[in-house]
Chains A and B, each alone.
Chain A
Amino acid sequence: MSEQIILETRNLTKGFKGFTAVDNVNLKIQRGQIHALIGPNGAGKTTVFNLLTKYLTPSSGQILFKGQDITALEASAIAQLGLVRSFQISAVFPRLTVLENVRIALQRKEGNSFQFWKSDKVLERLNPRAEALLADVGLLDFAQATTLDLPYGRKRALELATTLALDPEMLLLDEPTQGMGHEDVAVVAALIKKVSAERTILMVEHNLHVVSQLADRITVLQRGAVLTEGDYATVSADPRVKEAYLGVAADEEVAA
């Protein structure tokens, strides 16, 4: 059973000067699932993400990835273990080309990233793989474009391609459809579904329609603590969840 749990938190807590943002959170993420973290604004979802990937240091509690305690590791070391995150605001390298963005991710495993005496032409052998990844997210035609010039939805697609270039075992997606138009949301949702085939995904998402489509399991956070957990039907039927959202959840469902 324990092998089925890829990521686990034990009494994860984070306090900021007299305010507890994350309060004794115990999460167990099953390998191969899409697990969604939802909750009203300020519930601590992004803080949990930052704790899991060590962009913040927990006040107390433990984080285990594949059974290994990663609580004390550095952010870059966690990424090297195969737990890779995305960001709420699209995280790209704006003044590099689209192709270079993906290549940066592929480059790390080449082990030449400290070689300042070699020409960057050696990176060109990564181009076919980078192009294949771009093709997967429909960006191949933009390979040579400067990333800055891409529309928002495409930047998010690029971010996903870059993340996938690391071939991570587990992905943490922070609001992957945030700020997107209707069509882009559908495209990204389909992409997430596609890449989830061989991976585990933990995502924070406000769009409950997307959550209902994708998530195998949902954890609801409220004021930093776990309110409830279960599949979409269970969670959406829970009166406490509706109350937490002040009825917003029910309305959004109708709207979607």
Chain B
Amino acid sequence: MEFIKSNKFNIILIALALVIPFGVYPVFLMKVLCFGLFAAAFNLMLGFVGMLSFGHAAFLATGGYVTGYLMSNADLTPELGILCGTLASAVLGYLFGSLSVKREGIYFAMVTLALSQLLFFFFLQAPFTEGENGLQGIPRGKLFGFIDLNNNLSMYYFVLAVFLLGFWLIYRSVHSPFGQVLKAIRENEPRAISLGYSVRQYKLMAFVLSAALSGLAGSTKALVFQLESLTDAHWQMSGEVVLMTLVGGMGTIFGPLVGAAVVVGIENFFSGGELGTYIHIIMGLIFIICVLAFRNGIVGEFNKFVKNNF
């Protein structure tokens, strides 16, 4: 455990992240990083506040659509395009959060699902999303006006930087005075109220943070694939992020990234072959095995193993 928390471990990981695109296809890696950030943002709500949102696709898609539209039509630099997408998701998060954090458990999940479905049909009908076709050929642009991101390697390092920033912010939030209150709310909400904390405001704040970071992931993903489609807004995407978080280990820092790598990896592995049509059955089986056999997820079980044996 000590090693995982140490700086050495982080430096090794970052060094690995810097050289890995020379061995592995960068677009695949970027996909993992984007979904890893998305799952980590989602985990901020599920793992650290204990609230299961079933509408996080809304924030991923909003970030993607706003960034995609602006990059295609407003000639922004990519960093500004991503910033706008992230802000749009934060605003949407405030709206959805205000309506949903008053509810708990299954009711919270249902309200977030309903709101995200509303948004799905809005994106389906709205003229600027191009409906079923989605936004295609989104330009990646030049970072700060001079670094051409059409080179996959440059794009990878940019995505890695975005990911590290987002990931650091999540880590910081979890290990901050604010994060301490979130943990207290997760552990015993009535008691947190009795100590004078207006729990709803803390939940709303966490929700907005989580939505903004999901938007950051969506915005970045739209640039990576130069595509934004309704898949991102669909409720299945909200389910997929739950799957990633649970497979990796909810409430752990690295779990969502590992979960995203596993899920994206499996999808990529099967999507080309004959088993492609069975992908949802395979994912369903993995989910069932995870829930039944190792509830703490991959990282959760690993942490437990290390704690018990060293």
**A interface list, Cβ under 8 A from B:** 53, 55, 74-77, 79-80, 84-87, 91-96, 100, 103-105, 107-108, 110, 112-120, 122-123, 162, 166
Contact = CB atoms under 8 A, between A and B. Distances in A.
Contacts of B180: 100, 103-104, 107, 113, 120, 123
A234 to B, nearest CB: 32
B175 A120 contact: yes
B177 A118 contact: yes
B187 interface: yes
B188 A118 contact: no
Contact of A76 (B183, B199, B209): B199
B177 A107 contact: yes
B48 to A, nearest CB: 11
A40 to B, nearest CB: 25
Contacts of B202: 113-114
B188 A91 contact: yes
A81 to B, nearest CB: 9
Contact of A87 (B187, B191, B197, B198): B191
B294 interface: no
Contacts of A86: 194
Nearest to A148: B187
B196 A76 contact: yes
B121 interface: no
Contact of B183 (A77, A93, A115): A93
Contacts of B193: 55, 75-76, 79
Contacts of A95: 183, 187
Given A116-B172, A119-B172, A108 B196 contact: yes
Contact of B190 (A55, A114, A162): A55
Nearest to B199: A76
A119 B190 contact: no
A119 B194 contact: no
Contacts of A162: 195
Given A79-B196, A84-B195, A108-B197, A122 B190 contact: no
A114 B201 CA distance: 9
10 contacts: A76-B196, A77-B196, A80-B196, A85-B194, A94-B187, A104-B180, A113-B197, A114-B205, A116-B176, A117-B173
A115 B176 contact: yes
A116 B179 contact: yes
Given A74-B198, A79-B193, A105-B195, A115 B187 contact: no
Interface string B159-194: 000000000010011011111110110011011111
B235 to A, nearest CB: 29
A7 B196 CA distance: 18
Q: Looking at B172, B181, B195, B205, which has the most chain A CB atoms within 10 Å of its CB?
A: B195
Contact of A93 (B176, B191, B196): B191
Nearest to A162: B195
A50 to B, nearest CB: 10
A115 B178 contact: yes
Nearest to B251: A95
A122 B195 contact: no
Contacts of B201: 114
Given A76-B199, A93-B183, A94-B188, A120 B176 contact: yes
Contacts of B183: 93, 95-96
Interface in B180-235: 180-181, 183-184, 187-188, 190-199, 201-202, 205, 209
Minimum-distance CB pairs A-B, first 8: A79-B196, A93-B187, A116-B178, A91-B191, A116-B173, A76-B198, A80-B196, A112-B177
Contacts of B192: 104
A77 B184 CA distance: 18
B92 to A, nearest CB: 19
A107 B182 CA distance: 13
B166 to A, nearest CB: 13
B178 A113 contact: yes
Interface string B243-259: 00000000000000000
A117 B172 contact: yes
A138 B72 CA distance: 66
A84 B183 CA distance: 21
Contact of B176 (A75, A100, A119): A119
A75 B175 CA distance: 27
B209 A116 contact: yes
Contacts of A92: 188, 191
Contacts of A80: 196
A79 B190 CA distance: 12
Contacts of A53: 194
B197 A116 contact: no
Contacts of B175: 119-120
Nearest to B182: A116
B197 A76 contact: yes
A96 B184 CA distance: 8
Contacts of B173: 116-117
A165 to B, nearest CB: 8
A64 B205 CA distance: 32
A87 B178 contact: no
Contacts of B209: 116
A103 to B, nearest CB: 8
